[in-house]
Structure 1
Amino acid sequence: MADIQALLSALDVFNRAPDKASLEKANSWLQDFQHSPEAWSTCNVLLLSPDAPPAAKLFAAQTFRTKVTYDLHQVDAPNLLPLRDTLVTALERYHAGPKTIIVQLCLAISGFALQVPAWDDVLQSMIDKFGRNPATVPALLQFLTLLPEELVSNTRIPVTDDDYRERSAALLTTNSQQVLELLAMYIQASGITHTVQAQILDCLRSWLVAGEVNTIGLAESPLLGLAFEALASDDLFDAAVDVICELIHETQEIDENMPLIQLIVPRVIALKPLLETQKDDPEKIRGYARIFTEAGETYRLLLLQHTETFYPIVEAIGECSAYSDLDIVPITFSFWMRLALTIGKKQSVSPLFIEAYRALLGIIIQHLHFPADLSTMSGQEADNFRSFRHVMGDTLKDCCYVLGTDTCLLSAYGLITNALSRSPEIISWQEIEAPLFAMRSMGAKVDLSENNAVPKIMDLIPSLPDHPRVRYAALLIISRYTEWINLHPEYLQFQLQYISGGFESSDSEVSAAAGQALKYLCQDCKKHLVDFLPTLHTFLSTTGSKLAQDDRRQVYEAIAYVISAMPMDKAAESLRTFSLDILAQVHTVTSKATPATKQELKALEFGLENLEVMLHVIGPFGDVLPAACENSCQEAWSVFDAFLAKYAFDFDTSERATRVLRHGLTFFGKTALSIAPSVISRMVTSFEATGFSNYLWIAGKFVGAFGNEENATIRSAFRVLYERTTNKLVDLLQSKTPRDIPDVLEDYVHLLTQLAEFAPEAFFQSPVFPLAFRATMAALTLVHSDTIFASLDLFRIILTHDCLDSQTPQPPNFPLYATAISGVIDKEGFEFVGYLLAGVIGDFPEDSTSSVVSIFRAISMLRSSQLLSWLPAILHQLPSSSAPPQAKTAFLEEVTSAVNTGQFDKVKYGVITFHRASRKARDRRRVMSVNHSI
Structure 2
Amino acid sequence: MAAQQLLQALQALYHGAPDVKEQANKWLEQFQGSAEAWQVTNDILHNAGAGMEAHYFCAQTLRTKVQRDFEELPAGAALSLRDSLVSLLVKHCQVWGAVMGNAAVRTQLCLAIAALAAHLPAVQWGQQGVVGWLAQRLGGEAQTVSLPCMLELLTVLPQEASSYQPAVRPERRRQVQDEMLAYAPQALQILASCLTAPLPRAREQALDAFTSWLKLTGGIGLNGPMLMQSPLVRAALEGLRSSDTFFSAVDSVVELIYCTSQRGRPKEDMAPLVQLIVAEVMALKPRFHVCLQQALAERNGNTAPEGEHNDSEEDAKGMARLFAEVGEAYTALIAEGGPQVSGPVEALLDVASHPDDSICSISFNFWHRLSRALTIGLHPEPLESEEGPVSDEERERRVRLFTPWIERLVALIRGRVRFHDNFDAWHRDERQDFKRARVAVGDTLIDCASVLGGGRMLQLLVEPLLELSKQVTSGGNFDWRTAEAALYCVRAVHRCAPLPGDALMMSLFSSLPMLPAVPQLQYTVALTVGAYADWLADTAQRGEEGRTLLSQLLGMLMRCLPEPEASSAAALSIRRLCDGCAPLLAAASMDPLMQLYRQIQGSGDVAQNTLDLDLDEDDVQQLIEGVTLVASALPDGQRQPCVQQMLDIVVQPMQGILQQAAVGSPGSAPGTPTAGGAAQQQQPDVRLVLPLMERVTTIFRQEQAGAVKDPADVAEALVRLWPWIEAALGAQPMQESACPTLKPSTATSTPIPAPDRFTGDAAAIERICRAPRYAVRSSGKAAAAAVPLLVASLPQRFEISRQPCFLYVASELIKTFGDEPARDLELGGMFSRMMAGSCAMLRSLRDVSDHPDVADDTFLLAGRALSYAPRLLLTPQLLSVLLDTALAGLLVQHREACCSILAFVVRLLDPATHRAVAPEAVQGLQTALAPRAPLLVRLVLAGAVGALPTNRLAELTDVLYAVLKVTNQNGLQWVGEALAGIPDEAATSADKQRFMTACQQVVAGGLSQRDERVLQQAVDELSELCRRNRRAAQLAQRALLPPELHYTIR
Cross-structure match for 1:259: 272
- The separation in 1 between residues aligned to 2:136 and 2:925, in whole angstroms, is 77
- The separation in 2 between residues aligned to 1:720 and 1:162, in whole angstroms, is 55
Cross-structure match for 1:340: 371
> How well do the aligned residues superpose, as a CA RMSD in angstroms?
4.9
Cross-structure match for 1:121: 128
Q: Once the two structures are superposed, what CA deviation does each residue of 1:350-401 show, in whole Å capped at 9, x if it has no partner?
A: 9885443333212211211111122222233323322321211121123324
| Mapping for residues 675-714 of structure 1, pairs under 5 Å | 675-711=786-822
Cross-structure match for 1:508: 564
- The separation in 2 between residues aligned to 1:587 and 1:660, in whole angstroms, is 15
Tell me which amino acid in the other structure corresponds to 1:445. Answer: C
Q: CA deviation at 1:514?
A: 1.6
Alignment partner of 1:451 is 2:502: yes
Cross-structure match for 1:187: 195
Q: CA deviation at 1:884?
A: 5.3
- The separation in 1 between residues aligned to 2:996 and 2:861, in whole angstroms, is 33
**CA contact under 8 A between 1:780 and 1:835: conserved in structure 2?**
yes
Alignment partner of 1:406 is 2:455: yes
Aligned counterpart for 1:491 among listed residues 546, 549, 558? 546
Cross-structure match for 2:593: 536
- The separation in 1 between residues aligned to 2:504 and 2:977, in whole angstroms, is 77
Cross-structure match for 2:154: 144
The alignment covers a number of residue pairs equal to: 896
**CA contact under 8 A between 2:410 and 2:448: conserved in structure 1?**
yes
Cross-structure match for 1:556: 624
- The separation in 1 between residues aligned to 2:986 and 2:9, in whole angstroms, is 23
Structure 2 segments unaligned to the other structure (5+ residues): 95-100, 296-311, 376-393, 603-612, 665-682, 732-753, 1035-1050
Cross-structure match for 1:201: 207
- The separation in 2 between residues aligned to 1:303 and 1:898, in whole angstroms, is 51
Q: CA deviation at 1:90?
A: 4.9
Q: CA deviation at 1:283?
A: 1.2
Q: Once the two structures are superposed, what CA deviation does each residue of 1:805-848 show, in whole Å capped at 9, x if it has no partner?
A: 9xx997667777777x37xx76x889767655543331161112
Q: CA deviation at 1:330?
A: 0.7
**CA contact under 8 A between 2:335 and 2:398: conserved in structure 1?**
yes
Cross-structure match for 2:285: 272
| Mapping for residues 364-375 of structure 1, pairs under 5 Å | 364-375=413-424
| Mapping for residues 20-39 of structure 1, pairs under 5 Å | 30=32, 33=35
**CA contact under 8 A between 2:629 and 2:703: conserved in structure 1?**
no
Q: CA deviation at 1:49?
A: 6.6
Alignment partner of 1:296 is 2:327: yes
User: Mean Cα displacement is larger for which, 642-651 or 18-27?
Assistant: 18-27
- The separation in 1 between residues aligned to 2:778 and 2:42, in whole angstroms, is 73
Q: CA deviation at 1:871?
A: 6.2
Q: Using a 3 Å threshold, how does the CA distance of structure 1 residues 861 and 397 change in structure 2: closer, same or farther?
A: closer
| Mapping for residues 346-361 of structure 1, pairs under 5 Å | 346-348=395-397, 353-361=402-410
Cross-structure match for 2:725: 640
**CA contact under 8 A between 1:436 and 1:473: conserved in structure 2?**
yes
SS at structure 2 position matched to 1:574: helix
Cross-structure match for 2:735: none
SS at structure 2 position matched to 1:142: helix
Tell me which amino acid in the other structure corresponds to 2:158. Answer: P
Cross-structure match for 1:932: none
Aligned counterpart for 1:227 among listed residues 236, 256, 259? 236
Cross-structure match for 2:524: 473
Tell me which amino acid in the other structure corresponds to 1:784. Answer: H
Cross-structure match for 2:577: 521
Q: Once the two structures are superposed, what CA deviation does each residue of 1:190-231 show, in whole Å capped at 9, x if it has no partner?
A: x4313x222111022123322255443443455445435544
Tell me which amino acid in the other structure corresponds to 1:433. Answer: E
- The separation in 2 between residues aligned to 1:802 and 1:264, in whole angstroms, is 60
Q: CA deviation at 1:414?
A: 2.2
Alignment partner of 1:668 is 2:779: yes
Cross-structure match for 2:861: 751
Q: CA deviation at 1:773?
A: 4.7
SS at structure 2 position matched to 1:328: helix
Tell me which amino acid in the other structure corresponds to 1:142. Answer: E
SS at structure 2 position matched to 1:466: coil
Cross-structure match for 1:742: 852
Tell me which amino acid in the other structure corresponds to 2:807. Answer: L
Q: Using a 3 Å threshold, how does the CA distance of structure 1 residues 450 and 671 change in structure 2: closer, same or farther?
A: closer
Cross-structure match for 1:576: 644
Tell me which amino acid in the other structure corresponds to 1:493. Answer: T
Q: Using a 3 Å threshold, how does the CA distance of structure 1 residues 28 and 852 change in structure 2: closer, same or farther?
A: farther
From the two aligned structures, give the one with the greater helix fraction. 1
Cross-structure match for 1:617: 705
- The separation in 2 between residues aligned to 1:869 and 1:313, in whole angstroms, is 61
- The separation in 2 between residues aligned to 1:112 and 1:329, in whole angstroms, is 45
- The separation in 1 between residues aligned to 2:870 and 2:343, in whole angstroms, is 76
SS at structure 2 position matched to 1:427: coil
User: Mean Cα displacement is larger for which, 527-536 or 120-129?
Assistant: 120-129
Cross-structure match for 2:608: none
Aligned counterpart for 1:843 among listed residues 939, 945, 948? 948
**CA contact under 8 A between 2:557 and 2:574: conserved in structure 1?**
no
| Mapping for residues 63-142 of structure 1, pairs under 5 Å | 63-66=65-68, 88-96=86-94, 97=101, 98-108=105-115, 110-111=117-118, 115-116=122-123, 119-122=126-129, 123-131=131-139, 133-135=142-144, 136-142=146-152
Structure 1 segments unaligned to the other structure (5+ residues): 930-934
- The separation in 2 between residues aligned to 1:817 and 1:838, in whole angstroms, is 24
Q: Using a 3 Å threshold, how does the CA distance of structure 1 residues 138 and 366 change in structure 2: closer, same or farther?
A: same
User: Mean Cα displacement is larger for which, 613-622 or 460-469?
Assistant: 613-622
Tell me which amino acid in the other structure corresponds to 2:555. Answer: S
Tell me which amino acid in the other structure corresponds to 2:585. Answer: L
* Percent of aligned pairs sharing the same letter: 22
Alignment partner of 1:386 is 2:435: yes
Aligned counterpart for 2:898 among listed residues 788, 792, 800? 788
Cross-structure match for 2:745: none
**CA contact under 8 A between 2:600 and 2:620: conserved in structure 1?**
no
- The separation in 2 between residues aligned to 1:736 and 1:248, in whole angstroms, is 55
SS at structure 2 position matched to 1:339: helix
- The separation in 2 between residues aligned to 1:811 and 1:56, in whole angstroms, is 67
**CA contact under 8 A between 2:328 and 2:366: conserved in structure 1?**
yes
**CA contact under 8 A between 2:510 and 2:549: conserved in structure 1?**
no
**CA contact under 8 A between 1:394 and 1:441: conserved in structure 2?**
yes
Q: Using a 3 Å threshold, how does the CA distance of structure 1 residues 715 and 6 change in structure 2: closer, same or farther?
A: farther
Tell me which amino acid in the other structure corresponds to 2:896. Answer: D
Cross-structure match for 1:419: 468
What TM-score comes out, normalization by structure 2 length? 0.74
SS at structure 1 position matched to 2:354: coil
**CA contact under 8 A between 1:227 and 1:244: conserved in structure 2?**
yes
Tell me which amino acid in the other structure corresponds to 1:640. Answer: I
Q: CA deviation at 1:19?
A: 9.6
Cross-structure match for 1:924: 1029
Cross-structure match for 1:324: 355
Q: Once the two structures are superposed, what CA deviation does each residue of 1:619-677 show, in whole Å capped at 9, x if it has no partner?
A: 5547xx56x66844532334433433244535444322321212211222223233213
